[in-house]
Amino acid sequence: MVSEFIKNKHLANRAGFGISLEQISAFERLSTAEVWQTYARTRDFEQIRFNDTDTDADYVTLSKLNAGAKKQIQQRNRQQNIEINLNFLTAMVHSEDQLREKMAFFWHGHFASRVVNSTFSAHILNEIRKNALGNFRDLLFAVSKAPAMLSFLNNQQNKKGHPNENFAREVMELFTMGRGHYTEADVREAARAFTGWSYDRDARFMERKKFHDPGMKTFLGKTGNFDGNDILDIILEQPATARFITAKLYRFLVNEQVDNELVNRLSKQFYDSGYDIKKLLDHIFTASWFYEPKNIGSKIKSPVELIVGIMRMLPMKIENPEHLIVYQKLLGQLLLYPPNVAGWPSGKAWIDSSTLLLRMQIPQIWSGLRPLDLSPQQDDDLDMGLKQKRKLKGFKNPNMSIAWPEVEAAFAGKEPIQLLLQKEPSFKQHILEKYAAGDIRMSIIETMSMPEYQLC
């Protein structure tokens, strides 16, 4: 039988980024239903902000600038993207609104975009975060009209007489219905409807009427003088859209192995609710099947989930937070920079011989017990401007000071294995011996360095 505390940790792993040091005592006394209410509580939305001074550069005419001016603007954008990345990461670690940040993390990978312009990056991230727990229709419309997405998928090149199908195709294939629920003719007709969707000099959505194709279109069996709004509404009328989104959420929140019967039931509830995301989450996190042993500790943490989880359990002061960008890159998940429009992989795709070793060593590296022996590849696009042209002292170490007295007080009288793991480790005797001998710090670090800590 699964204990209430294990259920609470399971909920924290899936509805948030794992149990924090401050939550230990509450999780030991609250029921799982009570814990869920703390996650489900409605809180005020707060935007991710960044230092946007000197952002008066006209991105529309960037190509017309000389090389020096262009390089200066690009460097400023990269630095601002680093700031946005770290502010998002900080929200994941410290925000009480864990459910919003976890769902924003999910939608950030689902509606994947990758642009240099930092204003675009911040805008689409905040649109995702604002709508992460609301209505999927609102979220879909907001993201589809975001300059970051329109730019990333080339819709500014989608004009009457010369349609660009990229945006229309990805909206259907990756964002809503999935393959098999539309034809190539539907892609062409949808692209015609999206002609003219663009953005102005202030990074605001606009419809360029002179570029829009006003002709009749036939899309998913319907015929009319459709524009982009009509196409999105028709897509949302398809039960396949609810099924596609629900299945992806199930893999993210519950288990990589989809239970089709459950997903069919959940997707119908999602569709009938008018795409109410919060209601769908409530159905999942209050269901008895969610807490079955087969779903507990069944998922491999993504790199960001791993990093954030460690930081939530080990409160720390970070002298050089920008160096966390290097760890994101080394582990293969750099916020704001998904590998492609399909987003990041999941499951076993996160683990190979080099990344598993580093993942298990991070608690030791961040505790100052060992150096980092790996270097990121010199890819300035993915490195967000942190290309290592020279060896920087301390560059690989974020210079973290862990609040060990606070950690030790919270762990007093408790076994690290019981607090930190969801699966019973294959070997734990030496950790228990160290803990019994009073070496709490090393027992925590060694527990976090176990393969089982990679699971949630």
Q: Examine residue 426 and state whether it is found in any structural domain, yes or no.
A: yes
Q: Examine residue 269 and state whether it is found in any structural domain, yes or no.
A: yes
Residues 332 and 406 in one domain: yes
Residue 115 burial class via C-beta count within 10 angstroms: exposed 0-12, middle 13-18, buried 19 and up: buried
Residues 277 and 389 in one domain: no
Q: Of 266, 295, 324, which marks where a domain is finished?
A: 295
Residues 263 and 382 in one domain: no
Residues 6+ apart with CB under 8 A from 304: 89, 92, 105, 328, 333, 335
Q: Examine residue 101 and state whether it is found in any structural domain, yes or no.
A: no
Residues 372 and 327 in one domain: yes
Q: Examine residue 97 and state whether it is found in any structural domain, yes or no.
A: no
Residues 274 and 371 in one domain: no
Residues 421 and 310 in one domain: yes
Q: Quick count: other Cβ atoms within 10 Å of Cβ 30?
A: 17
Q: Which domain holds residue 265?
A: 4-41+238-295
Total number of domains constituting the chain: 2
Q: Examine residue 99 and state whether it is found in any structural domain, yes or no.
A: no
Q: Examine residue 22 and state whether it is found in any structural domain, yes or no.
A: yes
**In one letter, which amino acid is 281?**
L
Residue by residue, pLDDT tens for the chain (456 residues) are: 899 999 999 999 999 999 999 999 999 999 999 999 999 999 999 999 999 865 444 444 566 788 888 889 989 999 999 999 999 999 999 999 999 999 999 999 999 999 999 999 999 999 999 999 999 999 999 999 999 999 999 999 999 999 999 999 999 999 999 999 999 999 999 999 999 999 987 779 999 999 999 999 999 999 999 999 999 999 999 999 999 999 999 999 999 999 999 999 999 999 999 999 999 999 999 999 999 999 999 999 999 999 999 999 999 999 999 999 999 999 999 999 999 999 999 999 999 888 999 999 999 999 999 888 766 655 545 555 444 433 434 445 678 999 999 999 999 999 999 999 999 898 778 787 877 778 999 999 999 999 999 999
pTM of the model: 0.94
Residues 344 and 437 in one domain: yes
- Distance separating alpha carbons of residues 196 and 252, to the nearest angstrom: 35
Q: Of 250, 272, 295, which marks where a domain is finished?
A: 295
Q: Examine residue 432 and state whether it is found in any structural domain, yes or no.
A: yes
Residues 403 and 424 in one domain: yes
Residues 322 and 438 in one domain: yes
Residues 311 and 446 in one domain: yes
Q: Examine residue 159 and state whether it is found in any structural domain, yes or no.
A: no
Identify the CA nearest to 400 among candidates 330, 327, 351.
327
- Distance separating alpha carbons of residues 433 and 197, to the nearest angstrom: 64
- Distance separating alpha carbons of residues 31 and 19, to the nearest angstrom: 15
Residues 308 and 445 in one domain: yes
